[in-house]
């Protein structure tokens, strides 16, 4: 059996996510996906809520901010510490029972060389949010080939309309453990395309709106409770 999986999606539980959990379910089904990996930045909260529903199969995950790169921790039920080196993150993910994929490798500019010595289970070859999509896809494919790692694709959607622009065909039954096992065995075919500019611009506009709202809240909060205002940091990779 072949299943269609988007391995890289962010919800509003990510500091930069704009998609509610309900929207994620609706748009995933609308895109014809059989399964989605929920990979919010450094939090597993939204993913743990989504595994409880039965409308679409969810692989719980986290996009871990490691030194010089982002690592997709897939099929984990606990947070993975951020700020560690890539290999240490990979080991923590394995200890948590999951698999580790290097997200958008060519975007990890400075840390790329050190990063690539880590023993990733898979490499994200297609990322629909990449600005230089064709070049990134080509270079990511070469990296995956050189490392002999499995190849994945994901939309890196932060906004509902972006879901499913990239997906991975996995030769497995519709079961999280089976899908993860198939990824480790390399039974994957990355597919997909760039998110259209119109959709991307809508996301950027909404993102800016959220940033301003959080900034204003932060100003209000900091005037009353010094140092406790919410923070918003732009994602340096996605
Ligand atoms: Zn991401
Ligand atoms: Zn990222």
Kindly give the distance from the C-alpha atom of residue 157 to the centroid of ligand 1, in angstroms, as a whole number.
7
Q: State residue 202 phi and psi, 5-degree precision.
A: -60, -45
User: Under a CB-based contact definition with an 8 Å cutoff, are residues 64 and 73 in contact?
Assistant: yes
From residue 101, give the alpha-carbon distance in Å to each of 20, 64, 96, 139, 221. 25, 10, 14, 16, 38
Ligand nearest the Cα atom of residue 70: 2
Kindly give the distance from the C-alpha atom of residue 8 to the centroid of ligand 2, in angstroms, as a whole number.
9
Q: What is the tens place of the pLDDT at every residue in 13-43?
A: 998 899 999 999 999 999 999 999 999 999 9
Kindly give the distance from the C-alpha atom of residue 63 to the centroid of ligand 2, in angstroms, as a whole number.
7
Rounded to two decimals, what is the model's pTM? 0.89
Ligand nearest the Cα atom of residue 155: 1
Q: What is the tens place of the pLDDT at every residue in 196-220?
A: 999 999 999 988 888 888 777 766 5
Kindly give the distance from the C-alpha atom of residue 223 to the centroid of ligand 2, in angstroms, as a whole number.
32
Structure tokens at 210: 């959220």
- What pLDDT shows up at residue 27? 98
- What pLDDT shows up at residue 151? 98
DSSP output for 130-189? -TTHHHHHHHHHHHHHHHT-EEEEE--BSSGGGTTSEEEEEES-SSHHHHHHHHHTT-EE
Hunting for tokens 């990779």 — which residue is that? 237
- What pLDDT shows up at residue 196? 95
User: Under a CB-based contact definition with an 8 Å cutoff, are residues 27 and 203 in contact?
Assistant: no
Res. 131: pLDDT tops 90: no
Res. 105: pLDDT tops 50: yes
Kindly give the distance from the C-alpha atom of residue 127 to the centroid of ligand 1, in angstroms, as a whole number.
9
Sign of CA dihedral 153, 81, 95, 116: positive
Q: What is the tens place of the pLDDT at every residue in 161-202?
A: 999 999 999 999 999 999 999 999 999 999 999 999 999 999
Q: What CATH class does 2-196 carry? A: alpha beta
- What pLDDT shows up at residue 108? 58
Sign of CA dihedral 43, 137, 91, 52: positive
Mean pLDDT is lowest, of 23-32, 42-51, 86-95, 223-232, for: 223-232
Ligand nearest the Cα atom of residue 237: 2
Kindly give the distance from the C-alpha atom of residue 39 to the centroid of ligand 1, in angstroms, as a whole number.
7
Q: What is the tens place of the pLDDT at every residue in 151-162?
A: 999 999 999 999
DSSP output for 33-79? -SEEEEEEET--HHHHHHTT--SSEEEEEEEEEETTEEEEEES-SS-
């Amino acid at each position: 059996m072949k299943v269609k999986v988007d391995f890289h999606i962010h919800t509003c539980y990510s500091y930069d996510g704009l998609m509610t959990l309900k929207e994620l379910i609706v748009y995933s089904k609308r895109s014809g996906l059989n399964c989605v990996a929920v990979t919010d930045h450094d939090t597993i909260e939204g993913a743990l809520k989504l595994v409880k529903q039965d409308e679409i199969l969810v692989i719980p995950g986290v996009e871990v901010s490691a030194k010089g790169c982002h690592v997709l921790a897939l099929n984990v039920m606990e947070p993975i510490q951020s700020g560690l080196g890539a290999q240490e993150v990979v080991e923590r993910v394995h200890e948590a029972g999951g698999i580790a994929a290097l997200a958008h490798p060519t975007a990890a500019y400075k840390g790329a060389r050190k990063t690539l010595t880590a023993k990733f289970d898979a490499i994200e070859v297609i990322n629909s949010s990449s600005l230089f999509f064709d070049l990134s896809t080509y270079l990511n494919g070469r990296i995956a080939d050189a490392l002999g790692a499995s190849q994945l694709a994901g939309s890196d959607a932060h906004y509902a309309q972006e879901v499913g622009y990239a997906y991975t065909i996995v030769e497995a039954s519709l079961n999280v453990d089976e899908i993860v096992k198939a990824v480790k065995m390399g039974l994957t075919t990355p597919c997909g395309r760039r998110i259209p500019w119109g959709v991307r611009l809508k996301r950027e506009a909404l993102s800016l709106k959220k940033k301003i709202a959080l900034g204003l809240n932060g100003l209000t909060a900091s005037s009353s409770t010094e140092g406790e205002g919410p923070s918003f940091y732009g994602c340096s990779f996605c």
